[in-house]
Amino acid sequence: MYTQIALASAQLLVLPVMADDSSRRALQNAFSLVYGLQLPSAIYAAYAFGTKLTNEQRALPRVHLIAKNRLTQYMGAASAYAAVLTAIDGDVKQLLKTNPEIFDFRTVDEAFVEVRDFQTTGVVAFAKGLPFSRLGTGRQSVNGQRVDIKGAG
């Protein structure tokens, strides 16, 4: 219920993914649950979150960014991870063709950002109330603790 309240009040979504098949499936589930895409049966469509929100003449949030996590520190995505992330790129590229209205970007190149250590970066951004775009790199102070945020590289 709390997730639906948050989604109903949001205009844009940032969807984090890790380089594993469970994240790929979770991303597919998000598109299914929020937008009613690829539901297991047509019966679900009448009860889907997106249908209910649309019936109330409320706009669905658009996907603003997909944050990729679990990247190696110096060289970008490790090869095994890169294979899964490429599959995620392909999924998003296909959805951009068939359902461009659910996105806040027009190309796959605009869709993704690579975050070296999403756990640390996400916690610091949340603690400071800042979007990733305004969170600086380097040493940060969070509740009196020094935390290092690495740049994209």
CA distance 24 to 6: 22
pLDDT higher than 70, residue 42: yes
Q: Grade residue 11 by pLDDT with cuts at 50, 70 and 90.
A: very high
Q: What is the pLDDT of residue 27?
A: 93
Cα dist from 109 to 2, 45, 106, whole Å: 32, 31, 9
Q: Grade residue 71 by pLDDT with cuts at 50, 70 and 90.
A: low
Name residue, tokens 């998000």: 30
Instruction: Look at phi and psi of residue 79 and say left if phi exceeds 0, alpha if psi is from -120 to 50, else beta.
Output: alpha
What percent of the chain lies above the pLDDT cut of 70?
A: 88
Long-range contacts of 97-102 (CB under 8 A, 24+ apart): 99/35, 99/37, 101/62, 102/31, 102/34, 102/35, 102/60, 102/62, 102/63
pLDDT digits (tens, 9 = 90+) for 110-141: 999 887 666 677 778 878 888 877 888 888 88
Smallest CA-to-CA distance from 60 within 38, 34, 37, 97 is with 34
CB 63 within 8 A of CB 7: no
Q: What is the pLDDT of residue 116?
A: 67
Where is average pLDDT lowest: 18-22, 49-53, 89-93? Answer: 18-22
Q: What is the pLDDT of residue 30?
A: 92
Q: What is the pLDDT of residue 145?
A: 82
pTM of the model: 0.73
Distance of CA 63 to the CA centre of its chain: 7
What is the arithmetic mean of pLDDT over 14-39? 88
